[in-house]
Structure 1
Amino acid sequence: MSGRPGPHTAGDDGVLLHELIAGHARSRPDAPAVTCGGRTLTYRRLDAEAERLAAGLRARVHGENAVIAVLMDRSTELVVTLLGILKAGCAYLALSTTDPDPRLAELAADAGARLAVTTPDLAGRLPGTLEILTSGTAPGGTGPAEDDPPATGTGDARPAAHGARTADDLAYVCYTSGSTGAPKGVGVTHRGVHRLAVLQDWLRLTPQDVVLQVSSVSFDASTLEIFGALCAGCRLVVHPGGGPIDLDALAATVTGHEVTVVNLATGLLHRLIESRLSVFAGLRHVVTGGDVASPALVTRLLRAWPALTFTNGYGPTENTTFTTRWTTTGTPPPGPVPLGRAVSGTAVAVLDDTMDPVAAGGTGEIYTWGEGLARGYLGRPAATAERFLPCPFGPPGSRMYRTGDLARLPADGELEFAGRTDRQVKVRGYRVEPGAVEAALVRQPGVDRAVVVVERDDAGHTRLVAHVVPGDTSDAGLGPRLRAGLAAELPAYAVPDAVLVHTTLPVTAHGKVDRDALTGRGPRPRTVSNAYIAPLTPLQRRLTELWSALLDTAPVGIEDDFFDLGGHSLLAAELLDVMHQELGVEIPATALYLRSTVAELGEAVGEALAGREKRP
């Protein structure tokens, strides 16, 4: 087990995010709060504009924890809107402007939203079932700021009918990707965001920091950016827009506003390190999360800027963005970038199938509990009960969340990601966890990143295809060497039938590896990729005959690759068994993975026969 959730602080049942921000409006009213393009709002102005919106919302919304949909690009007005919704005693559902209109309608309906706040240019994309409140500020917020109002009347005034608010009230609803079924709305509380944004000693934000906001507000990474900055009294610099990120424009935002802290999706971090390393020159702290980070690229970043602090964060939306973190200043990762240890206010356990903690060196599923735990899934009590379980390690009545993520627990306690439980597939009758294969690939020398996907060939057979990014792109023999290395570590059925080497991997708009884009990109079975070269010796001729019969393809040349022709682990075992019976030699499976053409395998057989003749 790792970490212990801290006790509630005195009176923190009343800790509300908008009240913390209103405190800065009273104590530092003229300090810059939010900048986007050419417009800056002071804390006083931000709080006042949010209060005006809140007053209008209170007149329209009745009942506690009402969910209000928001459809806006990144802008100062977006931040005002989120804060105003919280001030009104409601929770926000941030919708992505890049989603299709039917999905916007689906999520708004599922969350029970009856009101939406948007901009005039986007209002037509929302369903007619919603009451629409439009903002007068265009996306980007480039208009001149008005004179700041007096620093009086700020705070969270509201009618008594809305009742007393507590830290366990909803702050926002964030929908899961739906990769394991229908999207589920996660209800996140003020307490959870306070744990993420305020209680973390590793983040150490001060009013002197300038924090970038670049994540889609429908993505939970935006929670740390927006509320981490504003609750600490920092200046939040919003990168305008809502579609794909232009790297040059992003670099201009970071350098032009002298940003000191960024929280970047892993895919976006990789792209910036690869192409615009200089953008990190003025930064104090780089935070990433959402996918497996590249150890080679993180090492490159830290060697270029050794004074930089780097944090790799891990966590599901159900535990308010970050559950664990690994933080370093200047020191590269020891191998795969660790998930690290539990953050403040959170505890983590790695449990086996019997719900017992795994021993050091073992692999199990991550469970977590503490201050960051969400309420559950909106309107889905059965789904909530399935994932939010009674916690045997915490106080009576406490809950823990079953993440579905697998982790290895090294002796030093720094967790390492090991895949997902729900990606398990059947390959030729055997159950395989692609994440475990990915973890094994990353442990191989020369591998920086790895993704394993499942494909079906023309006959409907399932096969594993590995996509890897090497640490050294000049390693031409990496694919065969990896197959051989995995064959020595994994069961034969778990060894990928193809290993494809890439310079980079495709990512989604949220910066995660786009597995759908990889599926189907592998070499097709039973196709000859090399020019046909006829066998030159009786041994080569017999091998081509065996391959042709096993793989149901002809002709087979001596430069054709067994796996490119559709071979897999079971066929490899059958081939080696026939060779043993006919030729009287035992060729290990690793030899076939390393020397997978007819010509290379013939050489291996010749070496084995010569060695047998030399033995007394």
Structure 2
Amino acid sequence: DVGPDDAAVLTFTSGSTGRPKAVVGRHGPLTWFYPWMSERFGLSAEDRFGMLSALSHDPLQRDLFTPLWLGATLAVPDPERIGEPGYLADWVRREGVTVLHLTPAMLELLVSGAGEMPSLRRAFVVGDLLKRSDVARLQRLAPRVACINLYGSTETQRSVAFFEVPRPEDSAAARLGREVLPLGAGMEDVQLLILDSEGRLAGIGELGEIHLRSAHLALGYLDDPALTAERFLPDPFTPGVRLYRTGDLGRYRPDGAAKFAGRADAQVKIRGFRIEPGEVEAEISRFPGVKESVVVVREDRPGDRRLVAYAVPAPGAEIDAAGLRAFLAGRLPVHMVPADVVPLPALPLTRTSKVDRRALPAPERAVETAAAPRTAVEERLAGIWRELLGVEAVGVHDDFFDLGGHSLLATQLLSRLRSAFGAEVPLRALFERPTIAGIAGLLAGRESGAADLSSLVRTGLEEAPLSFAQERLWFLHQLDPAGSAYNMHQALRLEGDLDEAALDSALRELIRRQEALRTRFEDRGGR
């Protein structure tokens, strides 16, 4: 007889070495989660399911067996036409599809057609980061839809955690804050544990690795006991139960839900700084006209590791690479600003509808015809650029970053400008004017020595999401509103004559310039 713990299927998933590994799946998880999913989300025999998984993709089991188990209808699109603009939305409308399982990349295709889908009432998204902006577009096109962000892996056999995305009219939608949506909490009989480097439960906002506690994990990896022992661990808190170590980094939110914070093996290190590409992608998504993006590290020349962003414009929009870099320079540390921005009509996808990072093209650094310096200032700047960039010739209209500049060289350039011209040039200015002509014009406008601080003040942003540290302090304040442990006090004694008007003016200018000094936390619906 076949039991729930017997092997049911071998599913191959990519490994960190590029060599696929075989996961031995069991029979039991299939019959455990489907009844719960159907009851929790109201699935029935009256539904019409769409099948969007490739034959080699493990969610195929979910796509096939859920409607078969319910006695529902399964609709299959033309695989040769899925990538056509507008086809998927037309197919959903024509077939009256009510339930879809799809990846975020497939969701992008679905909403790109701008066709309404009145029949769609459930959309389960799994396999990559899910963004608020993509869900918002789906909610506009499918007024009845409930979108659920699922979390799981081949090793868990099924998606084992979920977050139901609130609709725009719900008060909970205003409290989401960040562009990337949370992973949520475990389904029945599953817990998401975020453990620190010492194997202890992480605190709220503290970074750790996500482990999944479940009695319904896969058996392990075929003929690889070492990897099985590394990833399938005994639960240190509950004897006789196993954990799956996902390799994903996460943090607990104040409400107990988990949020994704990148991959432990995807964090990159450039010039001594650890960078999570997902954080850069989240900021790029806020730039007007960007539909989707991916950030990777490339080393097209030995020893020259560079952060490269690939961005797809929204319909009818064009991406200004220099403008995007300047935008990021105002929101991210300098080492997280991509050295190259490559616009693409679409991101390349694998057969399982995930971004194919290996197919991303190398940046093309087209240098303008070298225009000779026209002034003494441009001549001095050209000499600094040649020395920093290691090039023999540089034109006054050549882009600093197209010539090989990156964040470390940018900070060195600003230091050279300070020494050579006695000028404090903000980093953002370099991203906005990345040419010798642009910097020379900026220096000419600052010969009086008075810096234009107004250009550093961000405007047009009424609200901003809390940082992880701010979320932690807010949570602690709810527990002890009268506490002052985190207040910093300092008294200053001034000697001599005090120009009160000058002090008042200086403090007001400081507050005007520094947004953090004008920031307040407002309690909205308990958040």
- TM-score by length of structure 2 reads 0.75
8 Å CA contact retained: 2:328, 2:337: no
Whole-Å separation in 1 of the counterparts to 2:158 and 2:135: 21
Aligned counterpart, 1:195: 32
Larger relative contact order (C-alpha < 8 A, sep ≥ 6)? 1
Q: Residue 276 of structure 1: CA displacement?
A: 5.5
CA deviation vs aligned residue, 1:347-399 (integer Å, no higher than 9, x gap):
10222222233333333321111144211112211100001112124x31211
Match of 1:383 in 2: 227
SS in 2 for 1:609: coil
1:388, 1:402 within 8 Å by CA — same for their partners in 2? Answer: yes
Offset of 1:503 from its aligned partner? 5.0
Shift, 1:567, TM fit: 0.4
Q: Does 1:523 align with 2:364?
A: yes
Cα distance in 2 for residues equivalent to 1:488 and 1:276: 31
**Alignment partner of 1:277 is 2:115:** yes
Tell me the equivalent position of 1:68. none
Deviations 1:135-168 (A, max 9, x none): xxxxxxxxxxxxxxxxxxxxxxxxxxxx3x3222
Paired amino acid for 2:248: D
2:210 alignment counterpart = 366
From 351, 356, 363, the counterpart of 1:514:
356
1:302 aligns with 2:145: no
2:252 aligns with 409
- Paired position in structure 2 for 1:342: 186
CA pair 194-179 structure 1, distance change in 2 beyond 3 A: same
| AA of the residue aligned to 1:355 | G
Secondary structure class of the residue paired with 2:25: strand
Q: Which amino acid aligns with 1:285?
A: R
Distance change >3 Å, CA 207–CA 167, structure 1 → 2: same
* Structure 2 spans left out of the alignment, 5+ residues: 454-501, 503-527
Q: Residues 197 and 228 of structure 1 are in contact (CA less than 8 Å); yes or no, is this contact kept in structure 2?
A: yes
Do 1:558 and 1:599's aligned partners in 2 also have CA atoms closer than 8 Å?
A: yes
Report the CA distance between 1:177 and its aligned residue. Answer: 2.0
Question: Cα deviations across residues 25-76 of structure 1 (Å, max 9, x unaligned)?
Answer: xxxxxxxxxxxxxxxxxxxxxxxxxxxxxxxxxxxxxxxxxxxxxxxxxxxx
Change (3 A) 1:202 1:605: farther
> Does residue 499 in structure 1 map to residue 319 in structure 2?
no
- Alignment partners' CA distance in 2, 1:431 and 1:565: 24
CA distance 1:531–1:316, change in 2 (3 Å): same
Contact 1:364–1:407 (CA<8 Å) still a contact in 2?
A: yes
Counterpart position of 1:321: 158
- CA 1:483 to 1:365, structure 2 compared with 1: closer, same or farther past 3 Å? farther
* Mapped partners of 1:294, 1:586: distance in 2: 38
CA distance in structure 1 between the aligned counterparts of 2:355 and 2:376, rounded to whole angstroms: 47
CA drift at 1:500: 2.8
> Structure 1 residue aligned with 2:417, among 579, 596, 602?
579
1:259 pairs, out of 76, 82, 97, with 97
Aligned to 2:466: none
Q: In 2, Cα distance between the equivalents of 1:237 and 1:403? A: 33
Q: Report the alpha carbon displacement of residue 431 of structure 1 after superposing the two structures with TM.
A: 4.4
Aligned-pair CA distance for 1:466: 1.2
Q: For 1:141-160, what aligned pairs fall within 5 Å after superposition? A: none
Contact 1:174–1:186 (CA under 8 A) maintained in structure 2: yes
- My pick for the range that moved more, 291-300 or 469-478, is 469-478
Deviation string 1:536-571 (CA, Å, 9 cap, x unpaired) is 332222112211222122432222211111001221
CA distance in 1, matches of 2:92, 2:380: 64
Q: Evaluate the alpha carbon distance shift between residue 550 and residue 182 of structure 1 in structure 2; reply closer, same or farther with a 3 A threshold.
A: same
Deviation per CA, 1:270-309: give whole Å up to 9, x if none.
112102633x332221222212234333212211222211
Q: Give the Cα–Cα distance (whole angstroms) in 1 for the partners of residues 204 and 287 of structure 2.
A: 21
Q: Please state how far the C-alpha of 1:498 moved relative to its aligned partner.
A: 1.4
Structure 2 residue aligned with 1:539: 377
**Aligned with residue 357 of structure 1, among 201, 208, 218:** 201
Q: Deviations over 1:241-296 (max 9, x none)?
A: 6x774657766764454322111222222112102633x33222122221223433
Verify the 8 A CA contact 1:480 1:596 in the aligned structure 2: no
CA contact (8 A) 1:424 1:432 kept: yes
Summarize deviations over 1:405-433 as a string: whole Å, max 9, x none.
12343334443333211123443355444
**Distance of aligned partners of 1:447 and 1:348 in 2 relative to their CA distance in 1, 3 Å threshold:** farther
**Amino acid in structure 1 at the alignment position of 2:110:** L
Deviation at 1:443, TM superposition (A): 6.3
Matched, 1:424 2:251: no
Q: Which amino acid aligns with 2:164?
A: T
Residue range with higher mean Cα deviation, 504-513 or 244-253: 244-253
**What residue in structure 2 maps to residue 457 of structure 1?**
300
Return the letter of the residue paired with 1:352: D
Alignment CA distance shift 1:502-1:359 (3 Å): farther
2:54 and 2:148 map into 1 onto residues whose CA distance is: 20
Query: Counterpart in 2 of 1:3?
Result: none
The one-letter code sitting in structure 2 at the alignment partner of 1:351 is L
Tell me the amino acid that sits aligned with residue 416 of structure 2. V
- CA distance in structure 1 between the partners assigned to 2:254 and 2:129 by the alignment: 21
What is the CA distance between 1:435 and its match in structure 2? 3.5
Cα distance change, pair 418–608 in 1 and its aligned pair in 2 (3 A)? farther
Return the offset for 1:215. Answer: 0.9
Give 2:148's match in structure 1, choosing from 311, 321, 329: 311
Structure-1 residue corresponding to 2:277: 434
Whole-Å separation in 1 of the counterparts to 2:452 and 2:120: 65
- SS class of match (1:171): strand
- What is the letter of the counterpart of residue 226 of structure 2? A
C-alpha deviation, 1:511, in angstroms: 1.0
Matched residue, 2:518: none
Instruction: Structure 1 unaligned segments of length 5 or more: list them.
Output: 1-162
For 2:55 and 2:27, how far apart are their aligned partners in 1? 17
Alignment of 1:526-605 (within 5 A): 527-528=366-367, 530-605=368-443
Alpha-carbon offset, residue 517 of structure 1: 1.7
Q: Aligned equivalents of 2:40 and 2:285: distance in 1?
A: 27
Question: 1:400 Cα shift?
Answer: 0.6
Distance 2:150 2:389 in 1: 45
Alpha-carbon contact 1:189-1:374 (below 8 Å) kept? yes
Equivalent pair of 1:169/1:190 in contact (CA under 8 Å):
yes
Aligned pair in 2 of structure 1 residues 506, 173: CA closer, same or farther (>3 Å)?
same
Aligned residues: 445
SS in 2 for 1:173: strand
> Is the 8 Å Cα contact of residues 283 and 328 (structure 2) preserved in structure 1?
no
Taking the aligned partners of 1:449 and 1:416, their CA distance within structure 2 comes to: 20
**How many angstroms apart in 2 are the aligned matches of 1:426 and 1:340?**
29
CA change 1:256–1:573 in 2 (3 A) is: closer
CA separation of 1:283 and 1:365: change in aligned 2, threshold 3 A: same
Please give the alpha-carbon distance, in whole angstroms, between the structure 1 residues aligned to 2:77 and 2:63: 12
Percent identical pairs in the alignment equals 37
Is the 1:216–1:222 Cα contact (8 Å) retained in structure 2?
yes
